[in-house]
Chain A
Amino acid sequence: MARLTPTGYLLPSIHSVPPFFTEQPNPTTQATLTEQWTRLILSYARHRRLFFIRIEDAETTGGDWDEVLRNEQINRRVMPAHLSSLLATLVAKNLAVYEPPKQTRSVLLFWRSPEEWGETLHEWATSTGQLNTILTFYEIEDPPVPSPLSGIPTALLRKAIASLSKTGRAQIIGAADGEGVRLFAGTGK
């Protein structure tokens, strides 16, 4: 049975089944299991607007991911090794990237793909009338008025801008005190 967490997230019923927290030797079973985990992680990240998940989250308590990686009611938790393989699957499915690169203990989750983020950014800039002006990364990441982009990590923002640049709707501009971006109203040709 589905269960509501203190943060208001509706956990799937499978989260209350102990084998869900064990890696299965059977490849078919394990594939199904991983699929469910992937969905759960991305869904929860979207719910909490979490951009990162780290191996440490499985090793220690008190993090943002406790509600998902642990189930105190059945006394089960995801083992760090298990989480590591889950993260590898996420990266392989292009649903996440290792961030910072060249390590495997922390991933940046794409609960929206960089392209989607680019569209979101463009929509936000259009709706707030900031096209054709130069926006610093800081202005996008931490705007005075909360936006869908509030709190987006620079690495993800850079990817989103890169996807817009491909369609000629954004241009990275080097500034003295950092980087900026100018968005255009292009239709995406």
Chain B
Amino acid sequence: MPPTILNAYAKPVDNTIPVQALLYDDETLHASQDSVGLYDGPSKSAPHQSGTIHVTSHRIFFIADGGTPSNTLTSRTAEDESVGASLALDLAHVTQTEYYAGFLKSSAKITLHLTPPVRKAVQPPSSATTTTSSTSVKDFDDPFSTWECEICGNKNPPGLSPAARSVCALCGVPRSAVSLAAGSTPAPSRPLSVLRHPPDPTSTSASWHSRSLPSSAAHTPPTGSPAPSRGSIEEVRGVGQGSSKQVECPACTFLNHPYLRECEICGTALPSSKSGSSSSASKPGLTLSSKSAPTSRPTSPVGDVADLADGERYIKLSFRKGGDKPFYAVLKRTLKTKAWEVRIGYYGRRTNTGESSATTATARSGISGILQNVESSAMSTSTDMSHAFQDLEALMVKAQEMVKLAAELNERLSAAQQQRMSVNPYANANGAGVVEPEEATFIRSSLAQLGLQMKNAPVTQDMVKDERRWVEQLAKELAGVLQGDSVHEGMMRQRGIMGVDEAWGGWNRARGVALIPPTTLLQTLPLLPAHTSPPINTRKLTSGLTVLHMPPYAHTAFSVRFVGRIESGGPCTTVTFAQEEGLSVGLADEMIRDVERDGGICRDEVRGSGGMTAKSNAGAAEIRWWVNMFTGYVWDGQLDEH
């Protein structure tokens, strides 16, 4: 099989997948043209005579026509036959283009001159197997892997083009080889991943060859376990030698598993086994066998192609049915754009030109990128929140409907029960009438479980059209909540006084749905005394706090009680009185101050007795309340001698 340039540079693709699905996330399709054939060097390439050519920002795709041409390839059976009829070629390989307009029967053609392979300069050309160590770099090219940036910890998404993948999308720091190897998780279905042979020394060379496929991105075993490429090489080497595959820690000499990068015991960085290629090269048996083996020839075609002169490394696109000129224009523009090269700031310019959102999203870098990321995540969070609350509002609407439904059901049940009772008051005595109440009870208990107990059905505005009547109904309901009935104990049963806010909260909790706004509560309060017994009145204290109170907590009653308390029990502090009355200290304080304003009592501030300086003024003083003895006081001190 002659050295094919297509084999060397292009990667096979599955032509059953639409080309859009083959693109990287940051890749865009620029132009397509059907009825195109390929030339592999100067001669026509047999499997690539009819197909569609696509040019994207990063690659050229050739998708062969005719359903499943890849299956027609008989050479597919060969293990190294990797190139299907459909293929993709990285534009990065293209150094130069030529355009031939066509003449008579000769179709228009575009010639793509390709770069010389880099590997030749790095690796000794004699050793075909050494290409494997350099193809380990290709392991990063697995587009289906995610990796975590060592610098900023950003999880970079899969599906980016190779160049974009080598740089952290968030901070723009290049991806280091170590993190690449460790962070990349092999995808289970990788094209051309080769099964690793069992560690049999005799078959080592064969397995070695099998993994040195031209496009072998597969170094890690397809078992799904994340294995650094270096480690896998070393393991293979260790297997081949049958000797120590464990790595000795330079600090504590512990023999670590070859996959580890740091010593398991002491955390020291383990020596990187860069000797992978050299050791395999130093194995004459391996090298010789691989070199001499005829099957190994196509496995390293780059090495062969590298022997070609610069002028011979080209492929041609033959446009059988035209479309060549616009395609060539697009191609040239794409090549000039060099989208596969990632440079900091470069994508910033691209975003300005309004490229695809995928490009703008992934190509941010630096601090501005981080800020943008934070901003976008905050925006998405707020969007989520608003969506969530939309749901809640919808739920509220539904809840109201449910209440209505429950009310109707309840009404019907009550009506039925009454009817039955009126028809036959003794129905409960015989067994026939028992069924219906059971059903009714079931429905009612279900409603109760839903929180829709209709016994104290909340009054909603819809139920009462007239506003005045509505408020009155509300006042009745509130009276029930506050004073309770024979069964339930109201909120104010135990207490004579309560803040309006507390009453509001308790009422709304009792209602559960169709909550009452504070303004409505304030409208309701004036009507409350009419519906309560003993009447619950509203009182606004000096501080602005509004309270609901029973008669004993009206101002006059309270004053009399408090003054009487002082007269009989002696002066007392606010705290003492609050404890005696079971009030909160703040509330008691407010009410006592109201009494003081009337002049019924006076205060005695107990300050630090020892404080003889003016500073003791600032100290907190406990106030002790006294009966006002100043009013009506007659001077009983020394009378002026005159």
Residue of B nearest to A21 (CB): B604
By the criterion CB–CB under 8 Å, are A33 and B630 in contact?
yes
Knowing A26-B597, A43-B637 touch, does A32 contact B631 (C-beta < 8 A)?
Answer: yes
| Separation of A10 and B633 alpha carbons in the complex (Å) | 16
By the criterion CB–CB under 8 Å, are A80 and B617 in contact?
yes
By the criterion CB–CB under 8 Å, are B629 and A14 in contact?
yes
| A29: Cβ under 8 A from any B Cβ | yes
| Separation of A21 and B617 alpha carbons in the complex (Å) | 13
By the criterion CB–CB under 8 Å, are A25 and B596 in contact?
yes
Residue of B nearest to A60 (CB): B612
- Mark contacts of B615-635 with chain A using CB atoms, 8 A cut-off: 1 yes-contact digit, 0 otherwise: 011000000101011110101
Residue of B607, B630, B638 near A10 (CB, 8 A) is B638
| B640: Cβ under 8 A from any A Cβ | yes
Chain A interface, number of residues (Cβ within 8 angstroms): 35
Knowing A18-B626, A19-B603, A29-B602 touch, does A12 contact B631 (C-beta < 8 A)?
Answer: no
| Separation of A90 and B617 alpha carbons in the complex (Å) | 22
Residue of A nearest to B637 (CB): A12
| B486: Cβ under 8 A from any A Cβ | no
By the criterion CB–CB under 8 Å, are A15 and B637 in contact?
yes
| A173: Cβ under 8 A from any B Cβ | no
- Mark contacts of A15-55 with chain B using CB atoms, 8 A cut-off: 1 yes-contact digit, 0 otherwise: 10111011011101100110010011001101100000000
Residue of B nearest to A26 (CB): B599
Residues in B whose Cβ lies below 8 Å from that of A185 = none
Residue of B nearest to A47 (CB): B638
By the criterion CB–CB under 8 Å, are A81 and B617 in contact?
yes
Say which size band chain B's interface belongs to.
20 to 34
Residue of B nearest to A39 (CB): B635
- Mark contacts of B493-511 with chain A using CB atoms, 8 A cut-off: 1 yes-contact digit, 0 otherwise: 0000000000000000000
The A contact surface, by secondary structure, is helix
| A88: Cβ under 8 A from any B Cβ | no
| Separation of A55 and B629 alpha carbons in the complex (Å) | 26
By the criterion CB–CB under 8 Å, are B633 and A36 in contact?
yes
A52-95 residues with Cβ-Cβ distance < 8 A to B are: 59-61, 75-76, 79-81
Knowing A18-B604, A39-B635, A81-B617 touch, does A61 contact B612 (C-beta < 8 A)?
Answer: yes
By the criterion CB–CB under 8 Å, are A79 and B617 in contact?
yes
Knowing A10-B638, A43-B640, A61-B612 touch, does A22 contact B633 (C-beta < 8 A)?
Answer: no
A42 CB, nearest partner CB in chain B, Å: 8
B599-617 residues with Cβ-Cβ distance < 8 A to A are: 599, 602-607, 609, 612-614, 616-617
Knowing A25-B596, A59-B613 touch, does A12 contact B636 (C-beta < 8 A)?
Answer: yes
Residues in A whose Cβ lies below 8 Å from that of B596 = 24-26
Knowing A12-B636, A14-B633 touch, does A19 contact B609 (C-beta < 8 A)?
Answer: no
By the criterion CB–CB under 8 Å, are A46 and B602 in contact?
no
| Separation of A11 and B637 alpha carbons in the complex (Å) | 5
| Separation of A81 and B613 alpha carbons in the complex (Å) | 11
Residues in B whose Cβ lies below 8 Å from that of A33 = 630
By the criterion CB–CB under 8 Å, are B637 and A24 in contact?
no
| A9: Cβ under 8 A from any B Cβ | yes
Residues in B whose Cβ lies below 8 Å from that of A22 = 602-605
Residue of A15, A47, A59 near B612 (CB, 8 A) is A59
By the criterion CB–CB under 8 Å, are B640 and A46 in contact?
yes
| Separation of A39 and B212 alpha carbons in the complex (Å) | 115
| Separation of A40 and B637 alpha carbons in the complex (Å) | 8
By the criterion CB–CB under 8 Å, are B635 and A36 in contact?
yes
| A103: Cβ under 8 A from any B Cβ | no
By the criterion CB–CB under 8 Å, are A14 and B612 in contact?
no
Residue of A2, A47, A60 near B636 (CB, 8 A) is A2
By the criterion CB–CB under 8 Å, are B602 and A24 in contact?
yes
Closest 9 interchain pairs by CB?
A: A12-B637, A10-B638, A32-B630, A18-B604, A19-B604, A19-B602, A22-B605, A19-B626, A75-B609
Which residues of B pack against A, CB within 8 Å? Answer: 571, 593, 596-599, 602-607, 609, 612-614, 616-617, 624, 626, 628-631, 633, 635-638, 640
Known contacts A19-B602, A25-B593, A32-B630; can you find 20 more A-B pairs with CB under 8 A?
Answer: A2-B636, A11-B638, A12-B637, A14-B629, A14-B630, A15-B637, A18-B626, A19-B626, A19-B629, A25-B603, A26-B598, A26-B602, A29-B628, A32-B631, A33-B630, A36-B630, A39-B637, A40-B637, A75-B609, A81-B614
Which residues of A pack against B, CB within 8 Å? Answer: 2, 9-15, 17-19, 21-22, 24-26, 28-29, 32-33, 36, 39-40, 43-44, 46-47, 59-61, 75-76, 79-81
19 examples of A-B residue contacts, CB within 8 angstroms: A11-B638, A12-B635, A12-B637, A14-B629, A14-B636, A17-B629, A18-B626, A19-B603, A19-B604, A22-B605, A26-B598, A28-B599, A36-B635, A46-B640, A47-B638, A60-B612, A75-B609, A76-B604, A79-B607
